[in-house]
């Protein structure tokens, strides 16, 4: 083989790795039903919803689409399912309303958008994307975020759209108390969860998105980690894309998503080592329950959790598909 032919082979290998490959992972929360309560029928429903979202994201990437579009569309699909605590399936607040939080981040530009305490928005992740693409800001909350949603003509739905009988009963059980409930903090009926997606596209660009209804019976304008860039969501082409699910207060205190990135950047840990350190060590030390999904620019994926299960699915660079609930 001549030197020129050799160069061509190297280029082709490099080209193949960078241009023809992609990976994607999604989650539907670390608040799964305890194993004994999962029926085969329900399991099929969850897995079908995860598969649908994964396919939507994968198709975008397979057709040369961007990681940011793939994570937004995958999250929209999960928000549109009543099975998960985001968008349509969001939990009830102490006032019997739905207050949703979402965020999205582009690892190529380090641009990000986030919204919090929004109501009646069909797909909060798209509103977060609107903030990123069409405002000078990163994080809009409450009334202001709603005003912006109207200004951008974002799709709205009435209260009835967000009604879910299971969610309503979950709220009835604790609505007259000071208790609030995270899906993964209860022993039973811990059925739904926050949703998220991370992706690496053919160009090696990374993106992450997360969306949630937060905690049942939450009050005082409580905001979790999901819309907080660096805590619930983070993406940086130099390191990784991360979407978290779990007891939000601890993920905020642990700056969990950014911590995974920092461990890779400053300590040289691999994606898996960094994610494991955060989930099994740093968060655990402060009693943080939950998990995360993450991918790096080489298309590696990791999905660690320290709870009984985490609804999750992924398609890696070798075309291997995984859809799982328990460990
Ligand atoms: N992290 C979310 C929150 O605290 C909840 C979840 O992941 O289920 O709002």
The answer to whether position 16 is within a domain reads no
What's the pTM value of the predicted model, to 2 decimals?
Answer: 0.90
The answer to whether position 13 is within a domain reads no
Q: Which atom of ligand 1 is nearest to the CA of 213?
A: 9
In DSSP terms, which residues pair with 291 in a beta bridge? 245, 305
pLDDT band at 35 (very low <50, low <70, confident <90, very high): confident
User: Would residue 212 show up in a list of annotated catalytic residues for this protein?
Assistant: no
Q: Hey, what are 231's tokens?
A: 């805590």
Q: Hey, what are 255's tokens?
A: 């700056």
* Structure confidence by residue, pLDDT tens digits, 179-189: 666 665 444 44
How many Å apart are CA 253 and CA 263, to the nearest integer? 16
CATH number of the domain where residue 171 is located = 3.60.20.30
The mean predicted confidence, pLDDT, of the chain is 89
292 Cβ closer than 6 Å to some ligand 1 atom: no
Angle at 134 between CA 225 and CA 151, to 5 degrees: 95
The answer to whether position 11 is within a domain reads no
pLDDT band at 215 (very low <50, low <70, confident <90, very high): confident
| First-to-last C-alpha distance (Å) of the chain | 48
State the pLDDT at residue 11.
38
289 Cβ closer than 6 Å to some ligand 1 atom: no
For residue 316, what are the domain limits? 21-326
Q: Reply yes or no on whether the pLDDT at 6 is more than 80.
A: no
The answer to whether position 14 is within a domain reads no
The answer to whether position 192 is within a domain reads yes
The answer to whether position 275 is within a domain reads yes
**CA 218 to each of CA 177, 193, 214, 266: distance values in angstroms, whole numbers, following the listed order:** 11, 15, 8, 37
Total domain count for the chain? Answer: 1
Mean pLDDT of 194-205: 96
Pick from 92, 117, 248, 251 the residue to mutate for probing ligand 1's pocket: most ligand atoms within 8 Å of its CB: 248
The answer to whether position 150 is within a domain reads yes
Nearest-CA neighbor of 87 among 200, 195, 189? 195
Q: Reply yes or no on whether the pLDDT at 160 is more than 60.
A: yes
State the pLDDT at residue 14.
42
The answer to whether position 144 is within a domain reads yes
How many Å apart are CA 294 and CA 317, to the nearest integer? 14
Q: Which of 93, 194, 210, 212 is catalytic?
A: 194
Mean pLDDT of 259-287: 98
How many Å apart are CA 241 and CA 230, to the nearest integer? 10
How many Å apart are CA 279 and CA 31, to the nearest integer? 15
């Amino acid at each position: 083989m001549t030197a020129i032919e050799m160069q061509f082979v190297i280029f082709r290998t490099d080209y193949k790795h960078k241009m023809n490959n992609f990976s994607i992972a999604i989650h539907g929360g670390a608040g799964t039903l305890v194993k004994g309560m999962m029926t085969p029928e329900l399991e099929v429903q969850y897995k079908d919803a995860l598969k649908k979202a994964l396919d939507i994201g994968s198709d975008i990437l397979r057709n040369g689409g961007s990681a940011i579009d793939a994570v937004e569309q995958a999250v929209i699909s999960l928000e549109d399912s009543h099975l998960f605590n985001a968008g349509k399936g969001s939990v009830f607040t102490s006032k019997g309303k739905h207050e949703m939080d979402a965020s999205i981040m582009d690892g190529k530009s380090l641009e990000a958008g986030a919204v919090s305490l929004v109501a009646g928005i069909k797909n909060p992740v798209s509103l977060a994307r609107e903030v990123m693409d069409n405002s000078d800001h990163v994080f809009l909350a409450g009334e202001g975020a709603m005003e912006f949603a109207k200004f951008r003509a974002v799709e709205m739905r009435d209260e009835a759209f967000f009604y879910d009988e299971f969610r309503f009963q979950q709220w009835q059980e604790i609505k007259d108390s000071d208790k609030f409930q995270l899906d993964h903090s209860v022993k039973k009926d811990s059925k739904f969860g926050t949703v998220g997606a991370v992706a690496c596209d053919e160009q090696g660009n990374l993106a992450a998105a997360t969306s949630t209804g937060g905690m049942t019976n939450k009050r005082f304008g409580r905001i979790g980690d999901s819309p907080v860039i660096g805590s619930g969501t983070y993406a940086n082409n130099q390191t990784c894309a991360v979407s978290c699910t779990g007891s939000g207060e601890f993920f905020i205190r642990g700056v969990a998503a950014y911590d995974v990135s920092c461990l890779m950047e400053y300590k040289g840990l691999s994606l898996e080592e960094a994610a494991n350190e955060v989930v099994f060590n740093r968060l655990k030390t402060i009693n943080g329950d939950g998990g995360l999904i993450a991918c790096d620019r080489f298309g590696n994926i990791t999905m660690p959790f320290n709870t009984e299960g985490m609804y999750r699915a992924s398609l890696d660079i070798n075309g291997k598909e995984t859809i799982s609930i328990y460990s």
